[in-house]
Structure 1
Amino acid sequence: MNLRGPVRIAEAVLDVERYELLRDGERVPLERLPMELLILMASRSGQLVTRADIVKTLWGGSPFRDTDTSINTAIRKIRVAVGEDPEHPRNLLTVKGKGYRLEVVQIAVPDLPPIAPPPPVRVLVLPFRDRSESADLQGLCDALADETSANLGALNPDKVSMIARTTAARYRDTPRSIAEIAQELGLDYVIEGAVSCSEGRVRVLAQLVRCIDQAQIWAGAREAAAHGVLDIQRDLGMSLATELSPSLSEQQDRMLARRLPIDPSAHDAFLRGRYYWTRRVHFDAGFAAHHALSVEDFIRARGYFETAIERDPTYALGYVGLSNVYGATAAHGCYPSSQGYPRARETALRALELDDGLPEAHQALAGVYYFYDWDWRRAEEEFLEALRLNPNHAETSRLYARLLLVQGREAEGRAQFERAERADPLAFEGSRVFGLVQAGHYEEVAHSSLVAGNGERSPLVYQLLATAFEVQGHHEDAVEATAEALTRCGEFTRAESIRTIFRQSGYDAVLQWYLHDLVARGRRGYTSPLLFAEIYARLRNADEMYRWLDIALAERSPRMCELRTNPWFQRYRSTHRFREIEKRVGY
């Protein structure tokens, strides 16, 4: 059963998305383990849930825990919480010697359904077109569309649902009409724009189009030198809001205005930085670091964010950009954590000091708590605050989902991935596959790849497919997926080398080649110790793996926070030594 809404169990109502159990409208406190077990059984309404299923889902199949006692205690707590008599249950039944069956699970329907508010209108900002003859403005065009989308998403999330930039990017220079795009994505409005440059002055034109009748609701032209890039975002937001409601409230007006800096050139620099940042950050960090994919985009992004702050030291989004770069360069293995995350924290806190209502700033601080401090509670608080401020921010939902999966809260994690999918339908494929890999559903990853075919999938999807294939022992498929990912990153020589080594000497030779490459890079400069631990795990060299894991722990390597869901270590998780390392991380 797909738990997309609240369900009724005995005298209680379970809301999975809110992670909440209610009786008579009052919240019933329930510990994490009983709640996860309740969600598992509710999702299999009427079906037998064996004890083996429960152990696999809640403890990863660990044979070293007293799971029988824990399960019995959790079942007793669930029965009390939903209002059942533990001695004579009616809904949560014990199947002797097998497991449990949760009966009579019904979708909760209010007695008197209220008049539902209209659903939020769905809006897509298409990539702005570059109409300059002498200057290359494509980066600015993409970033301007991205920032316009972010502004509108924060304006009124109850009334406006923005389709994310990664989906919009699929429609660059498309021959499809607005009507066709609207039908594919279920849109209500589309925003189109173009940027041109003449005699050193940048001119921005935009229009808001209603999809149902192709009517132009608003159009405007601005020059960037006269605060054009900033004003056009404000005008777009106000025009859309005015179309949705009789007036734009003063509170909404302030929410939009505070994202904008005093100096328009600072905003231009931020947009350019965001262009390079988004182009680089959507790679699997382990894969990117392992194959030494270029970090030039990170370097360019940092330069632009620094320029934005130089032009306007009070510009909160500029500090968010720097926090993202400092953290990501460490997470992607470019520098040690100690060189990245203290500065990521400092700049995130500075952004919050300037604007504590900025969702991106809360997300940036959550990333520090998650990847560097390994402080799950504070990270979750910041993720939730970011989502409260902007429920349409898909990046926050994706990263929060990763934290939930690390904590073993798979049902909640999947709900967050679904939330991200609604905000970013076309780009969600890579996020969904990442979640499946983290949760250990490797067969589902491989099956989805066969069903979907190649198409326009990103390098990230192939990186994740390569992982899923290798874990399952499908080495030829793993080689091809790795080569395809590298090819789509422009690493043609490396891709062909891997294919050649596999054809001549087999997969172990490929792994040895990876190891020699890491050793050589380690002599030239910094290389994350976690990369060595991962490759030794893949080579089944446990002693070297543990040696490098100890180094990674001492260094606080960022991806150690996802040790529990890292696929390369799955065969070692039941060992005492590995569990001791997990405890040191904070599990």
Structure 2
Amino acid sequence: MIGRTLSHYRVTAKLGAGAMGEVYRAHDERLERDVALKVLPSGTLSNQDTRRRFRQEAIMLSRLNHPNIAQIYDFDNEEGIDFLVMELVRGVTLAAKMAYGVLSEKEIIRFGCQTAEALQDAHERGVVHRDLKPSNVALTAKGDVKILDFGVAQLLHLEDERHTGNHTDPSAAATMETVALETGISGTLPYMSPEQYLGQRVDDRTDTWALGILLYEMATGYLPFPDRAAMALAEKIVSTEPVPPTKLNPQLKPEIEQVILKCLQKNPDDRFLSTGGVADALRRLQTGSFFGLYVPGESKRLAVLPLENLSGDTDQDYFVDGMHEEVLATLARIGSLTVISRTSVRRYKESQKSLSEIAKELGVDTIVEGSVRQIKNLVRVNVSLVDVAADRCVWTESYQREIEDVLSLQNEVARSIAREIQVKLTPQEEEELSKIRIVKPEAYNAYLKGRHQWNKVTEESIRKSLEYFEQALELDPEYAPAHSGVADCYIVLADSAIGTQPPAHAMVRARGAAARALELDSGFAEAHASLALLSWRLLWDWEAAEKEFIEALRINPNYATAHQWYGWYLGARGRMGEAVREIQHARKLDPLSLWINSSLGLAYYFSRRFDDAIHQLKETLEMDNKFLVARLPLAWSYLEKGMHDEALAHLEQGTEMSRRNPAYVAALAHAYAIAGRRDDAMNALDELLSVAATRYVPSDQIARVYVGLGDLDKAFELLRRAADEPSSYLAYLKLDPKSDRLRNDARFDELLRKINFPQ
């Protein structure tokens, strides 16, 4: 082959060989540059149809343009020889580098971060590597990563998949070789994920697993699953946990171990939501701002149905509902349980459906039901645990306490349920559930009334809720949940869809209340989540926000709202794969929540998956046609598809249903402008400006209308004002398709800097 010319590439030296072909250095006679030629094994592409498909995939891969990915230039055939032309990377492979021993912490973070960022860029373009390993990672003379053979395993898998159809046992393949051609599974066995080996669906999280293997090797000098026999190795990959890296390298920082082990979770859902998340974690290690990771494990799914009020007094409903919510929240702190949120289970209050029907709708196998009776200062709670699959009550218990001990009672109930369903508690969870909390009965009652009002989510109910929370604090100034409730009220009142006052005052009050709640109880997940939302959408402190979101989820992995809000945050950062998965996880915890279902549709809209957004949001409206929150992103999705009539129909209906809420009037005016109905747009704009003269209307809502009308100077003037207000919508400015008309203007980047958007 050396000295031969294929097309206009003159082969000058052999660089290596493997199961996917031989690699040569060649000189491009046209462009006068050296390139790498990968000559595919003879017969790999058996006919012209397959060769055409291969070329199409190669063209798509050639569009990957990232500084840490070796680029594919060309695919050709000469005299029956199929070959890929790729960037020639001068340097050594990561495999050669690791042959000299364990890498330094600085090198692990540098190489790991660059590899993760390159993978993320490819994943966002729909490309999965499938065969990431040390020999496919080159290191340049400057110490930068270049990932080689990107997507080649996927390309070769096309033809193999066509012939084999079903996957076969890879034990015949040499353990250290790529097994794609023999098995229909593309990858190299020691670096293959469990789902890859089992022939299940492969996505970007497969590359996250392989990245974890690379990090493990760099940190320890060993493979996490070192068996040389193929069948034994495969069994370990699928079912055995790796030795913790710090056992093999005691000098390794525990934080690096956390990152590695999160990558190597058997269940893809439990890994980082994207390799971008790995890169972020490694960068935080580099800057000293690492704050731990939330790593879920396998869990049992449980629903706690609304408790029955046996007091005979409907005025006690708030107390019974509060007891239900607190028991549910306490159980939700147990990481090995998946607890369905109150939004979904409250629909079954006084329901005539059978437990089996409820269990099927919620996707659970265990249900808790019970009753509460309050007589003066005594509380009696009866609880039953039902195994729905076996159709039997496996446990029942009664508890009676004075109301001062109601918090300890809730913990005792939660601990008993965990024991009966054989859930293993961590030492931290045991300590949390064993805490003795005393609360004044009057303060607790006021708090429950406040939460009862807050869940109605109207301006009137939120202000009534605030009164109850403040009343609770007058009675018990050190009652952390009431401080958190105050924070939540002001955060909602700062939202333009609810409140009518500028958010600056609400922002200060919310921040102080959330901080006070955490001073009193640093383990209060709700307060961490509230502080996260506040830090991000009103204070523009993106780093602090992510820290608080992760801490909230570490404390309470079943807090659906925290997953939902964190999904919003990830989406605003542009990490859409992570955002969608986070909100999908929130929906698993709270499947009937209109707000979360709508948020998933919004995430699809921001991802420019407009058909998926329309489908999801229409499903949400089928659950409740009066749920106004879903109509805005549904209309926006129609608008982006050029379906103006459908968009305007939803916005006109929503405007009337919302009693002409400024958010809807602004959206309608913008849509009229996009649809070419300028006179209607101007009339709606006049209405909006008239309202803004008497009450607070976020400046960005007015700016959006001017964007539609093409007056970008006025739009930017209003957007700068919105950043100072501050209006929470600007948190989504970079992501929103409605911003497309602004992106090429230098003032757009100035706005992003004004809200401290992470670079």
- 8 Å contact 1:134–1:197 — kept in the other structure? no
Q: Following TM superposition, by how much is the alpha carbon of 1:528 offset from its aligned partner in structure 2, in angstroms?
A: 2.0
Q: Following TM superposition, by how much is the alpha carbon of 1:207 offset from its aligned partner in structure 2, in angstroms?
A: 3.3
Q: Following TM superposition, by how much is the alpha carbon of 1:78 offset from its aligned partner in structure 2, in angstroms?
A: 8.8
Deviations 1:229-268 (A, max 9, x none): 5354233212212213499787535413659552233233
Q: Which residue of 2 aligns with 1:355?
A: 521
What is the identity percentage for the equivalent residue pairs of Structure 1 and Structure 2?
26
CA distance in 2, matches of 1:147, 1:485: 35
SS of 1:217's equivalent in the other structure is strand
Given candidates 54, 76, 80, the residue that maps to 2:138 is 80
Q: Does 1:108 align with 2:193?
A: yes
Amino acid at match of 1:524: T
- 8 Å contact 1:324–1:364 — kept in the other structure? yes
Which protein is bigger by CA-based radius of gyration? 2
Deviations 1:389-410 (A, max 9, x none): 1221111111112221222212
Q: Which residue of 1 aligns with 2:421?
A: 244
Q: Which residue of 2 aligns with 1:531?
A: 701
Q: Which residue of 2 aligns with 1:73?
A: none
Q: Does 1:207 align with 2:381?
A: no
Q: Following TM superposition, by how much is the alpha carbon of 1:559 offset from its aligned partner in structure 2, in angstroms?
A: 2.4
The alpha-carbon distance between structure 1 residues 262 and 226, as it changes in their structure 2 partners (threshold 3 A), is closer
Q: Which residue of 1 aligns with 2:470?
A: 306
Q: Following TM superposition, by how much is the alpha carbon of 1:145 offset from its aligned partner in structure 2, in angstroms?
A: 2.4
Given candidates 730, 742, 749, the residue that maps to 1:572 is 742
Given candidates 632, 638, 649, the residue that maps to 1:469 is 638
CA distance in 1, matches of 2:111, 2:343: 40
The alpha-carbon distance between structure 1 residues 237 and 330, as it changes in their structure 2 partners (threshold 3 A), is same
SS of 1:173's equivalent in the other structure is coil
SS of 2:442's equivalent in the other structure is helix
Q: Following TM superposition, by how much is the alpha carbon of 1:152 offset from its aligned partner in structure 2, in angstroms?
A: 0.7
Deviations 1:416-463 (A, max 9, x none): 223223322232422211211233322321244567772446432233
Q: Which residue of 1 aligns with 2:550?
A: 384
Count of aligned positions: 511
- 8 Å contact 1:124–1:187 — kept in the other structure? yes
Given candidates 608, 615, 619, the residue that maps to 1:440 is 608
Q: Does 1:416 align with 2:582?
A: yes
Amino acid at match of 1:327: I
Given candidates 614, 618, 628, the residue that maps to 1:459 is 628
Amino acid at match of 1:572: L
Q: Following TM superposition, by how much is the alpha carbon of 1:354 offset from its aligned partner in structure 2, in angstroms?
A: 1.0
Amino acid at match of 1:108: S
Q: Does 1:34 align with 2:114?
A: no
Q: Does 1:406 align with 2:572?
A: yes
CA distance in 1, matches of 2:379, 2:657: 32
CA distance in 2, matches of 1:491, 1:547: 25
- 8 Å contact 1:147–1:271 — kept in the other structure? no
CA distance in 1, matches of 2:568, 2:722: 20
The alpha-carbon distance between structure 1 residues 572 and 26, as it changes in their structure 2 partners (threshold 3 A), is closer
Amino acid at match of 1:29: G
The alpha-carbon distance between structure 1 residues 431 and 357, as it changes in their structure 2 partners (threshold 3 A), is same
Given candidates 295, 300, 310, the residue that maps to 1:121 is 300
CA distance in 2, matches of 1:562, 1:267: 38
Unpaired segments of 5 or more residues in structure 2?
1-92, 96-104, 155-177, 181-185, 195-224, 226-232, 242-265, 268-296
The alpha-carbon distance between structure 1 residues 540 and 273, as it changes in their structure 2 partners (threshold 3 A), is farther
The alpha-carbon distance between structure 1 residues 567 and 511, as it changes in their structure 2 partners (threshold 3 A), is farther
Q: TM-score, normalising length from structure 2?
A: 0.59
SS of 2:386's equivalent in the other structure is strand
Given candidates 496, 502, 513, the residue that maps to 1:336 is 502
Q: Which residue of 2 aligns with 1:149?
A: 328
The alpha-carbon distance between structure 1 residues 490 and 421, as it changes in their structure 2 partners (threshold 3 A), is same
- 8 Å contact 1:34–1:78 — kept in the other structure? no
The alpha-carbon distance between structure 1 residues 512 and 149, as it changes in their structure 2 partners (threshold 3 A), is farther
Map 1:81-96; keep pairs closer than 5 Å. Answer: 89-92=148-151
The alpha-carbon distance between structure 1 residues 229 and 513, as it changes in their structure 2 partners (threshold 3 A), is farther
Q: TM-score, normalising length from structure 1?
A: 0.74
CA distance in 2, matches of 1:86, 1:254: 45
Map 1:52-63; keep pairs closer than 5 Å. Answer: none
- 8 Å contact 1:279–1:297 — kept in the other structure? yes
SS of 2:113's equivalent in the other structure is coil
Structure number with greater CO (CA < 8 Å, separation at least 6) is 1
More helix by share: 1
Deviations 1:144-194 (A, max 9, x none): 32322111111x212x21011122133233322112222333323222244
